Structure 1
Amino acid sequence: MDHSADNVDWSGLFHASGPAGDTPGRLAALLGEDAWAFVDGYSHLWSETLRREGKAWPATAPAAMLVAELLDNPLLGPDDPSLPDAMLAYLYAIGVAADLGDRAAETRARVEDRTPELRAWTAEYVSADADGRERMWRDGTGLGELVLDQAALACFDVVPELLRRVLPHLASERARRRTCAAAAVGSLARHPAATAQRPGLLGLLTSMARAADSSHDLATIVIAIGHLGGDTRPWLTSAHAGVRTCAALAPDLVGDDAAARVLLEPERSSRAFGETFGDLAPPLQLHVTLNRDLAPGLRGI
């Protein structure tokens, strides 16, 4: 399936502020030298193409493909290596938005059954003014929510290509780039199409974790291992409180007594947990998921 962003009809899509015809140009500014346009494009990427709860707009999937193209463009931050890292962080967020679990087939059936209605609703939405768009969310048809389900499904469908684009960055010469790539792999490789790759990826991530030279990188990689169903128990006894907590958050450790005891530590002080990483913020996964799967004591870090 061709998921290239080259032939996307952006005028027929929308993001947080309305019609998405502005998205390609604003993201292209990330490759330019105009500082104001760059800041505007970066803000647009995070605030307009993703919903606040970490879910998708109709413009999200093609925006993700643009980001994948930016990731390998030598014009992206030649003097700022953190910019490709930020693109990997965005692709991690796409993996979260696309993680439909066992609901993909049911979602696809509901969407395909009402495709003409969804197309008509979207066409009306992008041609309406701000007040009209606001009324459409309350029109009682449920079509708006189904359009958002369609958007999540579109992200689900591009994940295999995004994963292919991310994998080479696991071998980057830059430790932080490898870590950001590991975080992205931790969400993207949850896709059913990656089932056969997962054991090999878990082996690679485990090797990366053992070789990590900072607690921040280690914690980030450990979360990725947990997201892919790997065993994070070896890090429950880490000397670093932040690493222990990230290991305990693995979905497979829900109900595990040792993990539960570790999670009681940050519940006593979420501020103390955040400070365990020094001047760095806690691993990006804890922010992008907006605390939705976190222990109560970690909310609001």
Structure 2
Amino acid sequence: MVDHIDVEWSGLFHAEGLASDTPRYLAALLGDDAKAFANGYAHLWSTTLRREGRAWPATAPTAMLVAELLDHPLLGPDDPSLPDAMLAYLYAVGIAADLGDQAEEIRARVEEHAPELRSWTDDYLSADGDGRSRMWQDGTGLGVLILDQAALACFDLVPTLLRRTLPHLASQRARHRMCAAAAVGSLARHPSVLTQRPALLEQLRSMAEATESAYDLATILVAIGHLGGDTRHWLTDPHAGVRGCAALAFGLAGDNTADQALLELVRSPRAFGESFGDMAPPLQFQFNPYQDLLTFGLLQRDGGGETPAPGAPV
């Protein structure tokens, strides 16, 4: 089962209220009840993450359950896309946890207001739907700080999630390796991984050079760009999607070829999507409209790319 993690779920909430139902929903992903499975999968994606991909208080412990599901033999034995989906979830959590240098400021504010936050949460969990809606507008700002606290919990969990994700870069299945690369690209932005990052970039670069799939290559290049790697080599690739993903790397700020590639795709975002044929754009672009991501990548050139767009994998 997946419910043995020492978490007081009844003291947490997600999009629909009390989070004590989350372990049960996720456990259904290991069963053969089709309806329960569908409900569990929907719960994971639509309930434990906020609509814009940010964290609820239940998100961090859910991510730990997902990390366990990722390696569970009963998860999708006949459907390899399910482990891929768990990696995609960890990618999303990495984005929600990307607090940069704001983490310690948030931690200080959370610790300063800890009693009020606990009281606000208790009141929220005992309120009805209308009462909860009113609490977000109560003028105290505690609800916003609760959500900051949730992001901080994800931030603190990232090193553990990264350790659970790294072995999947060596998967025998190419698509699984690509999902792992995307997850590593968001999780390894954590400051604790700074010294480990050069080795990870070398591993991702080796993967990029070995793949023959433009789709997989584009996915890896976004991950390399997330981590400050150099994707200059692929700016002249014949595939428009690959060029665009290579150009997103902030390390290429000021590079005329990279800026021109972004500008072309901003002018015609449809060309970017169509460059991948019948496939959706790479995983990272499925969490934020890729038009916005490309536009942001171009606009950030002037600012050096230090501040990530809200919810955007950059």
Q: Give the Cα separation in 2 of the matches to 1:273 and 1:34.
A: 39
Q: Give the Cα separation in 1 of the matches to 2:14 and 2:130.
A: 16
**Following TM superposition, by how much is the alpha carbon of 1:11 offset from its aligned partner in structure 2, in angstroms?**
0.9
Q: Which sits farther off after the overlay, 250-259 or 128-137?
A: 250-259
In structure 1, the residue matched to 2:172 is: 173
**Following TM superposition, by how much is the alpha carbon of 1:103 offset from its aligned partner in structure 2, in angstroms?**
0.6
In structure 2, the residue matched to 1:70 is: 69
Q: Does 1:24 align with 2:47?
A: no
Q: Give the Cα separation in 2 of the matches to 1:291 and 1:54.
A: 15
Q: Decide whether the 8 Å contact of 1:54 with 1:290 is kept in 2.
A: no
Q: Give the Cα separation in 1 of the matches to 2:217 and 2:143.
A: 40
**Following TM superposition, by how much is the alpha carbon of 1:5 offset from its aligned partner in structure 2, in angstroms?**
6.3
**Following TM superposition, by how much is the alpha carbon of 1:158 offset from its aligned partner in structure 2, in angstroms?**
0.5
Q: Give the Cα separation in 1 of the matches to 2:259 and 2:228.
A: 18
Q: Give the Cα separation in 2 of the matches to 1:205 and 1:294.
A: 21
Q: Give the Cα separation in 2 of the matches to 1:9 and 1:100.
A: 25
Q: Give the Cα separation in 2 of the matches to 1:267 and 1:185.
A: 26
In structure 2, the residue matched to 1:275 is: 274
Q: Counterpart of 1:10 in structure 2: which amino acid?
A: W
Q: Give the Cα separation in 1 of the matches to 2:94 and 2:292.
A: 15
Which 4+ residue blocks in structure 1 deviate beyond 4 angstroms? Answer: 290-293
With structure 2 as the length reference, what TM-score do the two structures score?
Answer: 0.91
Q: Give the Cα separation in 2 of the matches to 1:291 and 1:110.
A: 34
In structure 2, the residue matched to 1:48 is: 47
Q: How many corresponding residue pairs?
A: 295
Q: Which sits farther off after the overlay, 258-267 or 240-249?
A: 258-267
Q: Counterpart of 1:258 in structure 2: which amino acid?
A: T
Compared CA separation, residues 14 and 292, structure 1 to 2 (3 A):
farther
Q: Give the Cα separation in 2 of the matches to 1:286 and 1:92.
A: 11
Secondary structure, counterpart of 2:195 in structure 1:
coil
Superposed CA deviations along residues 116-160 of structure 1, whole A, max 9, x for unmatched, are 100110111011110000000000000000000000000001000
Q: How does 1:193-272 map to 2 (within 5 A)?
A: 193-272=192-271
Q: Give the Cα separation in 2 of the matches to 1:5 and 1:94.
A: 21
Q: Give the Cα separation in 1 of the matches to 2:266 and 2:225.
A: 20
Q: How does 1:87-236 map to 2 (within 5 A)?
A: 87-236=86-235
**Following TM superposition, by how much is the alpha carbon of 1:297 offset from its aligned partner in structure 2, in angstroms?**
9.6
Superposed CA deviations along residues 264-296 of structure 1, whole A, max 9, x for unmatched, are 222232222111111110011112245596123
Secondary structure, counterpart of 2:62 in structure 1:
helix
Q: Give the Cα separation in 2 of the matches to 1:228 and 1:21.
A: 35
Q: Decide whether the 8 Å contact of 1:269 with 1:297 is kept in 2.
A: no
Secondary structure, counterpart of 2:49 in structure 1:
coil
Secondary structure, counterpart of 2:293 in structure 1:
coil
Alpha carbon RMSD of aligned pairs, Å? 1.6
Q: Decide whether the 8 Å contact of 1:220 with 1:285 is kept in 2.
A: yes
Flag structure 2 segments of 5+ consecutive residues without an equivalent. Answer: 298-314
**Following TM superposition, by how much is the alpha carbon of 1:249 offset from its aligned partner in structure 2, in angstroms?**
1.1
Q: Decide whether the 8 Å contact of 1:95 with 1:184 is kept in 2.
A: yes
In structure 2, the residue matched to 1:39 is: 38
